[in-house]
Structure 1
Amino acid sequence: MNSYNRHPDNRSNGILGGVVVLIIGVAFLLRKLDLHLPHWVFSWPMLLILIGFIMGLKNKFQGAGWFILTFIGTIFLINDILPFSWQLQRFFWPIVLIVIGVVMIGRSASRNRRYNDIIAGSSSTASPEDFLQSTTIFSGTNKVVLSKNFKGGNVTTMFGGTELNFMQADIQGEVILDVTTMFGSIELVVPSHWDVKIDVNTVFGGIEDKRMVVPASVDKVLVLRGSCTFGGVELKSF
């Protein structure tokens, strides 16, 4: 049985976590050495920037997770670095929402072009209904996927929750589902015989597979890609 069906590949996430812990340890060591470094070097906004940079480096600076983390850290760090205060914190949420909106529009446009290319190059049975586009912000989404020729899609959840049920859906071969969650959760109800490969970066979050243990089908592979920041992704079956 393919091990991906039950356990995500934590090797890359383990390296990422190790690098973060190493950086924190080095920062504490430098602080204890009294080298008179600027106080903001050891601040939590700097930690967010470092984590965002490492995530971006690992993913060749693709996706939105690394950028949002770096942006949040930068906003809170500016006032500590500048000799005067711009009080940027009061503009924090409007700016964050604007940035998230721009990133989501860009990602959706890019993925729509990719899915149209897939439809054009595939059999005549493929249709837009075979692709999933789900965006949840400050709310909740509950959807049952019925496509018998599911081709993949994009799921974005921020400050909310998304529940997707694939028990009545079917896939052929390998399909990719891009997931991005920040301060939220994504619950996927997936048939237990699907082989699930997980390639999701987690930062202060987690991924858990609660499905029943059965032999995985090599002809039905669901690949999860993306990022999980201050949130969680859960897989289960009925």
Structure 2
Amino acid sequence: MENLIKKNHADKQMGLGILIIVIGSVFLLRNTGIDIPHWVLSWHTIMLGAGLWIGYRKNFQGSGWLALTIIGAIFTLRDITILDFELSKITTALVLIGLGLWVILKPSKFKNFSNNFQNTSNVHEIKN
């Protein structure tokens, strides 16, 4: 148990360290004159990253991380422009496709009722 706690703490430290390095690298690149898009360090990109981070830490169970990720992704996609094409024109379609994939691929939480009656080898019939 103690080894698991130490490993979990080490994973948190590693993730936090990588996050700080990435943010510092973006600031360094921006301050040296390299053009970094404004959306890289915006509130919605941070929200997107936080949602993915929380989802990773909770093995993508629950839906709190999903709300953060979807809101951050929608606003981030609105700001990204690739080759003079605004992704905001297809954001709604991408969100609907992602939602559909999530509904299809999420694990089912219900148990099939008929599986409870398959093993009837130990049941004895009562004869009158």
TM-score (norm 2): 0.49
Q: Which has the larger radius of gyration?
A: 2
TM-score (norm 1): 0.30
**Greater fraction of residues in helix:** 2
**Greater fraction of residues in strand:** 1
